[in-house]
Amino acid sequence: MSKLVTIYGGSGFLGRYIARRMAKEGWRVRVAVRRPNEAMHVKPYGVPGQVEPVFCNIRDDASVAAAMQGADAVVNCVGVLNELGKNSFAAVHTDGAERIARVSAAQGVARIVHVSAIGASATGASEYARTKAAGEAAVLKNRADAVILRPSVIFGTEDGFFNRFAAMTRLSPVLPIACGATKFQPVFVDDVAKAAVAGILGDAASGTYELGGPEVKSFRALMTQMLEVIHRRRIVVSLPGPIAGLMAFGFDLVQKATLQLIENKTLTRDQLQNLKSDNVVSEGAKGFDALGIRPVALGSVLPDYLWKFRPSGQYDEMVGSARNLRNDI
């Protein structure tokens, strides 16, 4: 019988890429999610019955154990950028990570891969960073053999970074951002998936890997590059700290006042704190080189999925070419 991997959060942005790659490796894939009926898109990644979404609440021991039953490897991709209901940073990043690692040890699961984030630190300015660090510590306490992945901002077709800002350019001639000088090292989602697969298959030694793409750019520079790809002229404005803080407070207040019926998907105070620190691979840290992976450059991927934000969508280059013909006549 083929081996089985349980991927917690396997229907999400990164998880689905890991699930697809593991299906290609011939493994059975169990995708553990809160709403299996909304994760049916993972089933075609393999032959019928090879990839199956199952219910799991990572805040519950029994639920985590049931989803892991019989697995040869587990991957934890669960994370939140904004606290909603009982899914606080501590409950998901720390307690959930600890639970998955502890149960995997109790069940004798051979390998575990835990996805964290660059910037995870017990002394970090944001609750996001501190709970990510606490989650890593909890994983290592239960599984010293764990492979921990710390990616920088992840980009790809379904990302919530470039897609979000590109959509904003449709609404205004100004593109406001916070902490424009902060540096990022964007990493392609499938490259992170390759790293996770290396951990699952035992091709990666235990330890922490910081994953960043081949380029380091400021937030402002990334937005400028995005604008070039979508063929739009917008003024990129880096908001002063006090104004960005006031806006984040206002968005958080609206979420709280509406009892979270209106989710703050723009900018939270915690995200603002996180944005104040560079998000790049630390000097001397193990990374893609140690895994034998050559990361893909940002510029080779962005046009593949951001074309829909161009003024004429997929026909934008054709329209531009026709305009040049008219000018030549």
* Residue 314: per-residue pLDDT: 80
How far is the CA of 182 from the CAs of 82, 106, 178, 275, 276, in angstroms? Answer: 20, 42, 9, 7, 6
Which tens digits make up the pLDDT trace of 192-239?
999 999 999 999 999 999 999 999 999 999 999 999 999 999 999 999
Which tens digits make up the pLDDT trace of 41-96?
999 999 999 999 999 999 999 999 999 999 999 999 999 999 999 999 999 999 99
Which tokens in the block code for residue 109?
């699961």
Residue bearing the bigger pLDDT, 124 or 314: 124
Which of 6-15, 221-230, 310-319 has the lowest average pLDDT? 310-319
Backbone angles phi, psi at 221, to 5 degrees: -65, -35
Contact 45, 51 (CB under 8 A): yes
Classify strands 183-184 and 174-178 as parallel, antiparallel or unpaired. unpaired
Q: What is the rounded CA–CA span in Å between residue 217 and residue 189? A: 18
Which tokens in the block code for residue 66?
């049931």
How far is the CA of 328 from the CAs of 276, 321, 323, in angstroms? Answer: 49, 11, 9
User: Please, what is the average pLDDT of the chain?
Assistant: 95
* Residue 286: per-residue pLDDT: 97
**Separation of CA 41 from chain center:** 18
Q: What is the rounded CA–CA span in Å between residue 222 and residue 182? A: 10
Which of 15-24, 199-208, 231-240, 311-320 has the lowest average pLDDT? 311-320
How sure is the predictor about 327, in pLDDT bands with cuts at 50, 70 and 90?
Answer: low
How sure is the predictor about 1, in pLDDT bands with cuts at 50, 70 and 90?
Answer: low
Question: 273-283 as b/e, with b when 16 or more CB fall inside 10 Å?
Answer: bbbebbbbbee
* pTM assigned to the model: 0.94
Domains of the chain: 4-156+185-214+279-296 (3.40.50.720)
Contact 280, 205 (CB under 8 A): no
Q: What is the rounded CA–CA span in Å between residue 14 and residue 79? A: 11
Place of tokens 């697995």: 71
Q: What is the rounded CA–CA span in Å between residue 72 and residue 280? A: 32
Q: What is the rounded CA–CA span in Å between residue 45 and residue 85? A: 32
3-state secondary structure string across the chain: CCCEEEEECCCCHHHHHHHHHHHHCCCEEEEEECCHHHCHHHHHHCCCCCEEEEECCCCCHHHHHHHHCCCCEEEECCCCCCCECCECHHHHHHHHHHHHHHHHHHHCCCEEEEECCCCCCCCCCCHHHHHHHHHHHHHHHHCCCCEEEEECCEECCCCCCHHHHHHHCCCCCEEEEECCCCEECCEEHHHHHHHHHHHHHCCCCCEEEEECCCCCEEHHHHHHHHHHHCCCCCEEEEECHHHHHHHHHHHHHHHHHCCCCCCCCCCCHHHHHHHCCCECCCCCCCCHHHHCCCCCCHHHCHHHHHHHHCCCHHHHHHHHHHHHHHHHC
Nearest one of 97, 67, 98, 61 to 80, comparing CA atoms: 97
Classify strands 174-178 and 235-239 as parallel, antiparallel or unpaired. parallel
